Structure 1
Amino acid sequence: MSTPASPPAVAQRPLVHHTGFWYFPVAFVARLPFAMMTVGVLALVVAMRGSVALGGLTSAAVGVGVVVAGPVLGDLADRFGQRRVLVPVGLANGILLAVFPLVVATARADGLLLAAAAAIGLTGPQTAAMSRSRVMALIGARIAPECRERTFSRAMAYESAADETAFVIGPFVVGVLAALIAPWAPIVGAAVLSFVFVTAFALHPTGRAVPARSEREEMAPFRELLHPRMLVLVAAVFGVGLFFGSTLTSLTAFMDAQGAPEAGALLYGVMGVGSAVLALAVALLPERFPLRWRLVLFAAILTASAGAYTVGGSVTTVTLVLCLMGIGVGPSLVTLFSLAGHRSPRGRGASTMTMLASALTLAQALSSAVTGAVAESVSVGTAMLFPAGAAALVLAMAAVNASSSRRWDGEARAA
């Protein structure tokens, strides 16, 4: 018996028809606890304990927890469905965030403080990765074949722009709440957002777009995630994370040398906003411009502008260079996630996206620590070389991907 085709009127409708209007605002706000918790923990510990070193260690513990848990949560979501994973994780994260100010105030042992911070990271809701996985599933199931490529490009552009905007807004909200209320306010605010919006995201009807393992054909084996066609993307995203961490830290050190350390985050925000805008603009590129060559072009722009950043100079010059860097980094990140979406092994969408997100987070944490140590112990000029090295890694991976992309994608289609 033949299976009836999907009604053309439904197949031709835009993605927002299938997600519902409120999906994207809810998914965006649900990103903010993740963007706020690392900076919020740092600010709270420094304010209440008076130790920048302990604050840095505590913040790093959150990052380590995120990296460890990310792939595990992605695998669990692929196996059992996003709702069953995100609801308990979001609630646990909200509880841990809410009690963390009490831990900071009462815990005498630093080990207990670090353990609490790591637990926050382990329960960090991977909303961005889960959202990409949902959107990918919806496009594959409900968008007409002739519209899928354009819709997919626009969706990935939006998701990357939303990530970057959240990571600009998150630290800003932390600073405002800490200044206007108290150092504990950002953490409590993140807890409320996690309780309300992460739960709302988890329970949103789009969660059914990604079925649990029991409701679909067999998942691809885990080793498919370790194929070179996937690892080259992970390495490139790791390079982007190195770029983000080293740029923010070296820029802060540069502005500190100018006598205005607080302006470092502001200038970084200039790059972040520009990067988000350019990330959205990627959706306007013609489909005949292949993803592999887009990545080479944007990685080359990133490398060239990061090279100019190493020269330093005046605040005006550095600001202009940051704008150029935004032109390269935002579109590069969009293209990498688009390639990952196309190559994601069968039934492994959430695992793929959390693997890339974890690589990004780990690289940011490592590069921030190393760049800060170099800026303090060697020189600011030396620290400003690090973004160029990170950009060179992205370009090298882009070249590897371009040289082997046809063969890898052919193997994937055959499989």
Structure 2
Amino acid sequence: MSSSAPTRAPSYAAVLRTPHAARTFGAALLGRLSYGMAPLALLLAIKDASGSYSVAGGAMALFGAASVILSPARAALIDRYGPRRVLPPMAGLYAALLTVTALATWNPGVHSPVLCALAVAAGATTPPLGPVMRALWSGLVPDRELLQRAYSLDGVAEELLYVTGPLLVGVIVRAGRPAAAVLAGAVLVFAGAVALVSSPAASRTHASPEPLPADTPAAPRLRLHGIAALRQAVLVTAAVGLGLGALDLLVVAFTEQHGRAAAVSWVLAALSAGSAVGGLAYGAVRWRSSGRVRLPVVAAGLGAALLVAGLSSRLYVLVAVVAVAGLFVAPALTTAYLIADESVDAARRTQAGAWVNTAFNAGSSAGTAAVGLLVDRLPLGLCFALAAAPALLCAAVTARTGVRRSRPAGAAARGGVSGA
């Protein structure tokens, strides 16, 4: 607990005025811009080289699966050895693989298995810049209110990167070819990673500042079954990802059904704008309730908005409702990352954040795949309802579990690792 609580909630400017914060955050954003570019750039480059959408789609599915599945393992390496020792070689290998992919796709005619193998290798080595930055935020701004604003700012900035990245790819493709955009992503991620670890903030974060006992495992493994709060955050975040992954495809189906296919970008832009506004507003509020209480509420808000979106009869109504849904996206992720940070010790913060990140990405992929199987077989309104169901169900289950666990007076004292 802080003994000197401020009379006013700290501002976002106060976050960036923290020593080394602006420099570290800027470096992380530079590298993470590559993640906003890579999916579209790789998809277009592989499609150009292979001449097949199915090959490009399969390669990108492999890229995403390798990135998501191995994310906790990569984060464990960061926690064990520290970002300065692990991040540069990991980012260097990832950038090298992107460069090889760019060269391989510069001209058509590359065999499909080669492209798929490169995609898997690149996905497996994706450096966890987001989880590393969130772990660094915990060291830079130990005050919990300021950390909430830091995570909100981080989430909103990341949202904007995923809007800016594809636009940048479009500019590069128009001026040259998709492989050049892949090459640009390689340069960005390596430059950002090197700049990040050169910050003084990176030297403070190491999983094992003291010698470890002889019987300590090679890496400080994080097991979800022993940390109830982190399990809740991962479960709800996966449900949020499911809903948003489904929404992307449902928006495409809705606009095509209404003869306005070109308007899909406006609907998704409304989602991003809503998320940015919601994230900034959420981070600026001094909340009295705990993150474990707030998380089911914001997840339920997102689920309810998705449910209402299925009732939309006109495009402008869908745009408005999707913007409302966006208001809950950044708050849900911010709260989940805060819970993850509070649930573990400093030696496993990167892994905890990576688990939340993995849950969201895996949920998003699963949501898109599931709706892809259903959208031609079921009414669109029912598909929206099914997309909303995981968030609503998880919100109800976790809220009920939280109430039940809050009753025993000694429960907090038995929290073990998950205690704050």
The answer to whether 1:202 aligns with 2:178 is no
> Residues 20 and 357 of structure 1: is their aligned pair in 2 closer, same or farther, counting only changes over 3 Å?
closer
Question: Does structure 1 retain, via aligned residues, the 8 Å contact 2:240–2:391?
Answer: yes
Instruction: Give the alignment's TM-score, normalised by structure 1.
Output: 0.87
Question: Does structure 2 retain, via aligned residues, the 8 Å contact 1:247–1:387?
Answer: yes
The answer to whether 1:178 aligns with 2:179 is no
Larger mean Cα displacement after TM superposition, 238-247 or 172-181: 172-181
Residue in 2 that maps onto 1:5: none
Residue in 2 that maps onto 1:25: 26
Larger mean Cα displacement after TM superposition, 58-67 or 344-353: 344-353
Question: Does structure 1 retain, via aligned residues, the 8 Å contact 2:266–2:319?
Answer: no
Question: Does structure 2 retain, via aligned residues, the 8 Å contact 1:251–1:384?
Answer: no
The answer to whether 1:365 aligns with 2:368 is no
Residue in 2 that maps onto 1:114: 116
> Residues 32 and 223 of structure 1: is their aligned pair in 2 closer, same or farther, counting only changes over 3 Å?
closer
Amino acid at match of 1:139: V
> Residues 330 and 212 of structure 1: is their aligned pair in 2 closer, same or farther, counting only changes over 3 Å?
closer
Question: Does structure 1 retain, via aligned residues, the 8 Å contact 2:236–2:391?
Answer: no
Residue in 1 that maps onto 2:62: 61
Q: In 1, Cα distance between the equivalents of 2:135 and 2:162?
A: 20
> Residues 186 and 52 of structure 1: is their aligned pair in 2 closer, same or farther, counting only changes over 3 Å?
same
Question: Does structure 2 retain, via aligned residues, the 8 Å contact 1:37–1:187?
Answer: yes
Q: Mind listing any 5+ residue stretches in structure 2 that lack a counterpart?
A: 1-9
Q: In 2, Cα distance between the equivalents of 1:24 and 1:223?
A: 26
Larger mean Cα displacement after TM superposition, 115-124 or 43-52: 43-52
Residue in 1 that maps onto 2:139: 137
Which of 154, 159, 162 is equivalent to 1:159? 154
CA RMSD, Structure 1 to Structure 2 (Å): 2.6
Q: In 1, Cα distance between the equivalents of 2:166 and 2:390?
A: 23
Deviations 1:74-106 (A, max 9, x none): 111111001111101111111111221333346
Question: Does structure 2 retain, via aligned residues, the 8 Å contact 1:107–1:113?
Answer: no
Q: CA deviation at 1:182?
A: 1.9
Q: In 1, Cα distance between the equivalents of 2:53 and 2:190?
A: 29
Q: In 2, Cα distance between the equivalents of 1:372 and 1:186?
A: 28
Residue in 1 that maps onto 2:340: 340
Q: In 2, Cα distance between the equivalents of 1:120 and 1:307?
A: 37
Question: Does structure 2 retain, via aligned residues, the 8 Å contact 1:293–1:402?
Answer: yes
Q: In 1, Cα distance between the equivalents of 2:354 and 2:371?
A: 25
Q: CA deviation at 1:127?
A: 0.8
Amino acid at match of 2:396: A
Aligned length: 397
Once the two structures are aligned, what percentage of the paired residues are identical? 25
Deviations 1:44-88 (A, max 9, x none): 223333322222111111111111221111111111001111101
Deviations 1:130-153 (A, max 9, x none): 10011112333xxxxxxx121121
Q: In 2, Cα distance between the equivalents of 1:260 and 1:209?
A: 52
Deviations 1:102-145 (A, max 9, x none): 333466432221111011111112111110011112333xxxxx
Aligned to 2:375, what secondary structure does the other structure show?
A: helix
Q: In 1, Cα distance between the equivalents of 2:256 and 2:48?
A: 20
> Residues 395 and 55 of structure 1: is their aligned pair in 2 closer, same or farther, counting only changes over 3 Å?
same
More helix as a share of residues: 1
Q: CA deviation at 1:376?
A: 4.2
Question: Does structure 1 retain, via aligned residues, the 8 Å contact 2:222–2:351?
Answer: no
Deviations 1:275-299 (A, max 9, x none): 1221121122223233233223322
Question: Does structure 2 retain, via aligned residues, the 8 Å contact 1:241–1:364?
Answer: yes
Q: In 2, Cα distance between the equivalents of 1:340 and 1:404?
A: 21
The answer to whether 1:278 aligns with 2:270 is no
Larger mean Cα displacement after TM superposition, 241-250 or 316-325: 241-250
The answer to whether 1:226 aligns with 2:229 is no
Aligned to 1:311, what secondary structure does the other structure show?
A: coil
> Residues 199 and 260 of structure 1: is their aligned pair in 2 closer, same or farther, counting only changes over 3 Å?
farther
Q: In 2, Cα distance between the equivalents of 1:306 and 1:77?
A: 37
Question: Does structure 2 retain, via aligned residues, the 8 Å contact 1:343–1:412?
Answer: no
Aligned to 1:388, what secondary structure does the other structure show?
A: helix
Q: In 1, Cα distance between the equivalents of 2:328 and 2:188?
A: 32
> Residues 31 and 221 of structure 1: is their aligned pair in 2 closer, same or farther, counting only changes over 3 Å?
closer
Deviations 1:171-222 (A, max 9, x none): 2322332234322232121111112122211322211121242547778963
Question: Does structure 1 retain, via aligned residues, the 8 Å contact 2:49–2:109?
Answer: no
Instruction: Give the alignment's TM-score, normalised by structure 2.
Output: 0.86
Residue in 2 that maps onto 1:6: none
The answer to whether 1:81 aligns with 2:82 is yes
Q: Mind listing any 5+ residue stretches in structure 1 that lack a counterpart?
A: 1-11, 141-147
Question: Does structure 1 retain, via aligned residues, the 8 Å contact 2:50–2:109?
Answer: no
Q: In 2, Cα distance between the equivalents of 1:78 and 1:331?
A: 26
Larger mean Cα displacement after TM superposition, 215-224 or 100-109: 215-224
Aligned to 1:31, what secondary structure does the other structure show?
A: helix
Amino acid at match of 1:177: I
Q: In 1, Cα distance between the equivalents of 2:132 and 2:190?
A: 17
Q: CA deviation at 1:374?
A: 2.5
